[in-house]
C-alpha cells in the first residue's frame, strides 16, 4: 500500500483536518517546475503561519499515598536562530510572530529563476502544515497532562476510600510502624536488630508516604441520574454529589468508574502518540519526494528541525503512558500485567472467513427459497385460489413482520459499508465498546439468516385449502410464524455469549431507554434507535396482530375478529403512536437539560406527526370525508415539517451560502449529484402516506401487499436518512476535534474544605 493511502487510513477521523495535508503538498510537488542550477543564489524569505478488580486481597503497598501520574517538565524545543544548509538552498528559522512561536523556512533562490516561485510556494505551505500540526499537538498534550493531574487526585481519593471501606486503617498504620518497608508481614530478616538506624529512616519515609485519609473530607461521590429510581430521588431531594458512604458496594462502583476513565485516558495517549508518529513520517516522506524532484538535500535540514521540535522531541507522553500502565496494572488488575494490558489494549477485531462463508451460504439459501416460492405460487396457481384472500388477511401480516426487519437490517448493513468507506466513525458516535461493533458482513449474516428461516416457514405454511378430513389447517404449520417470533425474542435476550451478545444487549438497553423515555438521560444511540422505530410502525402493528390472532382468533381456521374488536382498534392507534411519543418525550428531556430551543421545535415535529398518524389511522378504520380532510391537512403539515428537518437540520444541507451551493461546505461523497438525488428521493418517500389518505387501490395487488410496500418504502427512506444523518454528525464532531468519550469520574474534589458541597 502506498504511503498516502496508509496515512489516510490510520488517521483519527475526528482530527483529520489537524493532520499534515500530504495530498496537497504532493500535488504542489507534481506541479513544480524543475529549477535550473545556474546563476547566483540570493536569500528570499517565505513566511509561515500557522489490584484485583474486585477490590480485595491487595498488597499493603496499594494503600500508600499515590505519587501522581506526571511530573511536569517545561519542555523547550530547539530555539537556534537558524539552521542553514547552503547545498540544500534552505534556512529553517525559529521565530516569534505576534507572541506565537513558529517555524519559518527561507528559500535561497530567486523567484525569477526557473522553478523558484513554485519552490517558495511549496515551503510556505509546508511551514503552514508543520506549524498547524505542532500547535495542535502541543494543545492536545497539555489537555492530556491536565487530565493526568485530575486522575492523580482521583487515585488519591480511591486509595483512601479503599482503606476506609475495607476497614484497614488500623492494620495499615500498624504495618507501617511495626514492619520493615518492603518486607512487611511477609518476610522476616535475621539481622533486623542490626539495622535499627536504617529501619527507622525507612519508617520515617514510609509514614511520609502514608495516605492522608483527610483527603476524603474534600471529596463527594458523583451520582449520575441514570435510572428512573435515581432520577426520582434527584427530583425529590438528592443532590448531585452525595455524602461518602464507605461501603464495599460504593467501592466497587468507584473502581468501575475509575477503571473506565483510565482505559479511555490510555486510549487518548495512544492516539496522540500515533498522531505524532504519522505526521513525522509524512514530513519525512514529502521531503524525500522534494529532494528527488529537485536533486537537493533539503530534507536533512528540514527534518533536523522537525526532530528537534516539540512534535519530534517531546517524551512526556511516553513517560506518562508507562506511568499509566504501571498504575492500572497495580491498582486495577492486582499486578497481573497480562490481564491489565488486555484491558488497556483490547485486541482489534479480525475479519473471519467463516463469517463471509456463512453469509454467502445464507444469501444462496435466501435466493433459492425466493425462487422456490415463486415456482410454487405459479405451479399451484395460488393467486387465483379460493383461500388466497384468507391467507393474505391472516398469514401475510404475520410474515411481513420479518420482511420489515430484514429490509431494515439490509439497509443498516449498507450504511455500515459506506460509513466505513467514507471514514465515518460510527462506532465512536454510537458509543459501541471497542472491538464489539458489528461490521456489514455480520449484519448481512444475521439478516439473511433470519430471511432464510422466514422463507422456509412460509414455504412450509403455504397451504391455501383446509384439510377435507379435519376441516381446518394443520396446527403445527399454523404455529410456525409464532414459533419463529418466539425464537427471535429468545435469541435477542439470551444471556449466553452467542450470536453477538454485546450487540444484542446494547440494542436491548437502548430499546428499554426508548420505552422508558424520559426517565433516562437521552444519548445519541437512544434517540437514533427511537427514530428507527418511527419507521417500523407497521412492524409494531404486526406484533399487535400476533397477540390478537393467536390469543383471540382461531388460527386453525385462519379466522380472526381483530378489526371488529374495540380493544384491538384502540391499541391499533396506541402502538402506532408509541415510537413518536417516545421521541417527543426525549426531546422534552433534552430541552429541559440542555435549554436548547431546537429540541422544542424538534418535539413539535413529532407531536404534529402523532396527530397525523392518529387521524390517518382513524380514516383507515372508519373512513368518512371528515377524517379524510383532517388526516390530509395534518399529514401535509407533518410531511413538510419533517422534510425540512431532514434536509436542513439532520443532514445540514440546503445552505445557500455554502461553497457547495445548496449543500454544505464539507461533503464526504465526491459526487454532489448523490446529495441532490437523496434529497429528491427523501421528499418523494416522505409523501408515501398519500396512499392511505387517497385510498389508492391497485386491482392486481391485495390491500395487505400495498400496505407492506408502503411500509417498506418508509424503511428504505430511513436507511438513506441514516447515512446522511450520521455523516453530518461526524462532520460536526470533526469540527470540535472530539475523538473521545466523556467519562464521568467517581469523585468531586473541593479544594476548600469549607466550601458548600451542595
Segment holding 377, helix H or strand E: helix 353-380
Handedness of CA 179, 181, 186, 188 (dihedral sign): negative
Q: Return the pLDDT at 467.
A: 73
What does the alpha-carbon distance between residue 329 and residue 669 come to, in Å, rounded to a whole number?
44
User: Do residues 292 and 199 make contact, with C-beta atoms less than 8 angstroms apart?
Assistant: no
Handedness of CA 607, 612, 616, 622 (dihedral sign): positive
Q: Which of 229-238, 452-461, 673-682 has the lowest mean pLDDT?
A: 229-238
Whether residues 324 and 390 fall in one domain: no
Of 241 and 21, more confident: 21
Whether residues 571 and 654 fall in one domain: yes
Let me know if residue 682 belongs to a domain. yes
Of 579 and 293, more confident: 579
Q: Which of 149-153, 291-295, 358-362 has the highest mean pLDDT?
A: 358-362
For 70-103, the pLDDT digits (tens) are 766 555 554 544 555 545 567 777 676 666 677 7
Q: Which of 4-8, 102-106, 434-438, 595-599 has the highest mean pLDDT?
A: 595-599
Whether residues 708 and 728 fall in one domain: yes
Q: Return the pLDDT at 533.
A: 96
Dihedral angle over CA of 316, 318, 319, 323, nearest 10: 130
Predicted confidence (pLDDT) at residue 224 exceeds the cutoff of 80 = no
What does the alpha-carbon distance between residue 61 and residue 331 come to, in Å, rounded to a whole number?
10
The proportion of the chain whose per-residue pLDDT surpasses 90, expressed as a percent, equals 39
Q: Return the pLDDT at 554.
A: 82
Residue 245 — very low, low, confident or very high, per pLDDT cuts 50/70/90?
A: confident
Q: Which residues pair with 554 in a beta bridge?
A: 559
What does the alpha-carbon distance between residue 71 and residue 59 come to, in Å, rounded to a whole number?
25
Cell of 6: 496508509
Q: State which residues form the domain around 274.
A: 3-157+256-344
Predicted confidence (pLDDT) at residue 538 exceeds the cutoff of 90 = yes
Cis peptide before 728 (omega within 30 of 0): no
The proportion of the chain whose per-residue pLDDT surpasses 70, expressed as a percent, equals 79
For 680-729, the pLDDT digits (tens) are 999 999 888 777 766 677 777 888 898 999 999 999 999 999 999 999 98
Edge-to-edge strand list for the sheet holding 100-107? 44-45, 100-107, 90-97, 82-85
What does the alpha-carbon distance between residue 516 and residue 519 come to, in Å, rounded to a whole number?
6
For 326-350, the pLDDT digits (tens) are 999 998 988 889 898 988 887 666 6
Strands 90-97 and 100-107 come out as antiparallel
Going from the C-alpha of 396 to that of each of 72, 452, 464, 473, 505, the distances in angstroms are 70, 17, 12, 16, 30
Q: Which of 5-19, 217-231, 420-434, 539-553 has the highest mean pLDDT?
A: 539-553
Whether residues 536 and 631 fall in one domain: yes
Let me know if residue 167 belongs to a domain. no
Given 344, 376, 398, the domain boundary residue is: 344
Let me know if residue 233 belongs to a domain. no
The structural domain count of the chain equals: 2
Cβ-based neighbours of 129, under 8 Å, separated by 6 or more = 20, 21, 25, 50
Predicted confidence (pLDDT) at residue 209 exceeds the cutoff of 60 = no
For 27-59, the pLDDT digits (tens) are 888 887 544 444 434 333 333 333 444 444 566
**99: region left, alpha or beta (phi > 0 left; psi from -120 to 50 alpha):** left
User: Do residues 9 and 269 make contact, with C-beta atoms less than 8 angstroms apart?
Assistant: no
Q: Return the pLDDT at 188.
A: 45
pLDDT, average across residues 440-449: 96
Given 344, 366, 385, the domain boundary residue is: 344
Let me know if residue 243 belongs to a domain. no
Whether residues 307 and 377 fall in one domain: no
Segment holding 537, helix H or strand E: helix 537-552
Cβ-based neighbours of 584, under 8 Å, separated by 6 or more = 603, 606, 607, 610
Whether residues 522 and 664 fall in one domain: yes
Q: Which residue has the cell 458541597?
A: 757
Whether residues 612 and 678 fall in one domain: yes
Whether residues 395 and 337 fall in one domain: no
List the beta strands (DSSP E) in 49-171. Answer: 82-85, 90-97, 100-107
Whether residues 285 and 396 fall in one domain: no
Whether residues 404 and 493 fall in one domain: yes
Let me know if residue 329 belongs to a domain. yes
Whether residues 329 and 388 fall in one domain: no
Let me know if residue 174 belongs to a domain. no
Let me know if residue 75 belongs to a domain. yes
Predicted confidence (pLDDT) at residue 240 exceeds the cutoff of 70 = no
Q: Which of 7-21, 336-350, 495-509, 725-739 has the lowest mean pLDDT?
A: 725-739
Cβ-based neighbours of 650, under 8 Å, separated by 6 or more = 721, 724, 725, 728
Whether residues 326 and 433 fall in one domain: no
Let me know if residue 203 belongs to a domain. no
Given 344, 376, 392, the domain boundary residue is: 344
For 264-277, the pLDDT digits (tens) are 899 899 999 999 99
Predicted confidence (pLDDT) at residue 129 exceeds the cutoff of 70 = yes
Amino acid at each position: 500500500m502506498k504511503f498516502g493511502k496508509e496515512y489516510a487510513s490510520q488517521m483519527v477521523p475526528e482530527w483529520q483536518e489537524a493532520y499534515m495535508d500530504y495530498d496537497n503538498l504532493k500535488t504542489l510537488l507534481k506541479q513544480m517546475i524543475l529549477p535550473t542550477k545556474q546563476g547566483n543564489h540570493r536569500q528570499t524569505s517565505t513566511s509561515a503561519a500557522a489490584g484485583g478488580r474486585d477490590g480485595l486481597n491487595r498488597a499493603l503497598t496499594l494503600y500508600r499515598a499515590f505519587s501522581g501520574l506526571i511530573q511536569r517538565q517545561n519542555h523547550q524545543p530547539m530555539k537556534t536562530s537558524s539552521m542553514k544548509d547552503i547545498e540544500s538552498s534552505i534556512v529553517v528559522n525559529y521565530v516569534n510572530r505576534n507572541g506565537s512561536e513558529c517555524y519559518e523556512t527561507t528559500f535561497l533562490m530567486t523567484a525569477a529563476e526557473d522553478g523558484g516561485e513554485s519552490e517558495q510556494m511549496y515551503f510556505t505551505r509546508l511551514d503552514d502544515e508543520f506549524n498547524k500540526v505542532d500547535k495542535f499537538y502541543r494543545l492536545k498534550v497539555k489537555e492530556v497532562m491536565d487530565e493526568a493531574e485530575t486522575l492523580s487526585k482521583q487515585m488519591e481519593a480511591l486509595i483512601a476510600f479503599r482503606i476506609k471501606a475495607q476497614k484497614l486503617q488500623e492494620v495499615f498504620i500498624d504495618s507501617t510502624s511495626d514492619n520493615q518497608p518492603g518486607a512487611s508481614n511477609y518476610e522476616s530478616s535475621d539481622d533486623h536488630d542490626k539495622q535499627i538506624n536504617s529501619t527507622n529512616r525507612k519508617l520515617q519515609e514510609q509514614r511520609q508516604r502514608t495516605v492522608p485519609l483527610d483527603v476524603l473530607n474534600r471529596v463527594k461521590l458523583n451520582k449520575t441520574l441514570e435510572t428512573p429510581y435515581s432520577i426520582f430521588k434527584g427530583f425529590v431531594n438528592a443532590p448531585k454529589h452525595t455524602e461518602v458512604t464507605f461501603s464495599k458496594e460504593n467501592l466497587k462502583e468507584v473502581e468501575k468508574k475509575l477503571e473506565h476513565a483510565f482505559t479511555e485516558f490510555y486510549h487518548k495517549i495512544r492516539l496522540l502518540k500515533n498522531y505524532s508518529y504519522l505526521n513525522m513520517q509524512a514530513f519525512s516522506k514529502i521531503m524525500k519526494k522534494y529532494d528527488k524532484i529537485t536533486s537537493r538535500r533539503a530534507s536533512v535540514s528540514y527534518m533536523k528541525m522537525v526532530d528537534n521540535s516539540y512534535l519530534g522531541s517531546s517524551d512526556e507522553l511516553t513517560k506518562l503512558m508507562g506511568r499509566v500502565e504501571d498504575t492500572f496494572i497495580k491498582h486495577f488488575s492486582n499486578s497481573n500485567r497480562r490481564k491489565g494490558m488486555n484491558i488497556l489494549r483490547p485486541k482489534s477485531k479480525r475479519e473471519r472467513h467463516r463469517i463471509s462463508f456463512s453469509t454467502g451460504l445464507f444469501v444462496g439459501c435466501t435466493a433459492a427459497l425466493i425462487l422456490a416460492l415463486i415456482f410454487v405460487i405459479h405451479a399451484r396457481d395460488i393467486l387465483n385460489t379460493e383461500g388466497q384472500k384468507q391467507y393474505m388477511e391472516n398469514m401475510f401480516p404475520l410474515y411481513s413482520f420479518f420482511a420489515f426487519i430484514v429490509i431494515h437490517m439490509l439497509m443498516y448493513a449498507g450504511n455500515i459499508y459506506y460509513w466505513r468507506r467514507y471514514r465515518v466513525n460510527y462506532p465512536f458516535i454510537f458509543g459501541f465498546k471497542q472491538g464489539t461493533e458489528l461490521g456489514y458482513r455480520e449484519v448481512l449474516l444475521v439478516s439473511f439468516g433470519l430471511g432464510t428461516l422466514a422463507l422456509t416457514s412460509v414455504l412450509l405454511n403455504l397451504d391455501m385449502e383446509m384439510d377435507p378430513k379435519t376441516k381446518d389447517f394443520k396446527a403445527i404449520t399454523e404455529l410456525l410464524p409464532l414459533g419463529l417470533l418466539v425464537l427471535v425474542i429468545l435469541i435477542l435476550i439470551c444471556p449466553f455469549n452467542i450470536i453477538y451478545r454485546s450487540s444484542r444487549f446494547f440494542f436491548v438497553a437502548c430499546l428499554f431507554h426508548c420505552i422508558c423515555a424520559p426517565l433516562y438521560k437521552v444519548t445519541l444511540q437512544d434517540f437514533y434507535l427511537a427514530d428507527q422505530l418511527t419507521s417500523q410502525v407497521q412492524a409494531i402493528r404486526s406484533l399487535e396482530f400476533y397477540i390478537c390472532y393467536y390469543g383471540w382468533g382461531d388460527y386453525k381456521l385462519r379466522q380472526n375478529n381483530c378489526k371488529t374488536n374495540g380493544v384491538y382498534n384502540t391499541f391499533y392507534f396506541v402502538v402506532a403512536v408509541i415510537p413518536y411519543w417516545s421521541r417527543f418525550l426525549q426531546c422534552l428531556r433534552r430541552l429541559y437539560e440542555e435549554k436548547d430551543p431546537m429540541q422544542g421545535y424538534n418535539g413539535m415535529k413529532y407531536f404534529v406527526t402523532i396527530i397525523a398518524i392518529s387521524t390517518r389511522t382513524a380514516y383507515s378504520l372508519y373512513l368518512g370525508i371528515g377524517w379524510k380532510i383532517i388526516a390530509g391537512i395534518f399529514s401535509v403539515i407533518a410531511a413538510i415539517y419533517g422534510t425540512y428537518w431532514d434536509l436542513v437540520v439532520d443532514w445540514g444541507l440546503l445552505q445557500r451560502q455554502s461553497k457547495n451551493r445548496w449543500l454544505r461546505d464539507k461533503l464526504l461523497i465526491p459526487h454532489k449529484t448523490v446529495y441532490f438525488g437523496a434529497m429528491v428521493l427523501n421528499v418523494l418517500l416522505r409523501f408515501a402516506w398519500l396512499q392511505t389518505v387517497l385510498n389508492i387501490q391497485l386491482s392486481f395487488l391485495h390491500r395487505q401487499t400495498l400496505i407492506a410496500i408502503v411500509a417498506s418504502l418508509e424503511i428504505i427512506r430511513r436507511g438513506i436518512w441514516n447515512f446522511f444523518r450520521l455523516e453530518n454528525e461526524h462532520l460536526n464532531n470533526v469540527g470540535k476535534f472530539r475523538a473521545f468519550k466523556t467519562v464521568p469520574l467517581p469523585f468531586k474534589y473541593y479544594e476548600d474544605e469549607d466550601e458548600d458541597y451542595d
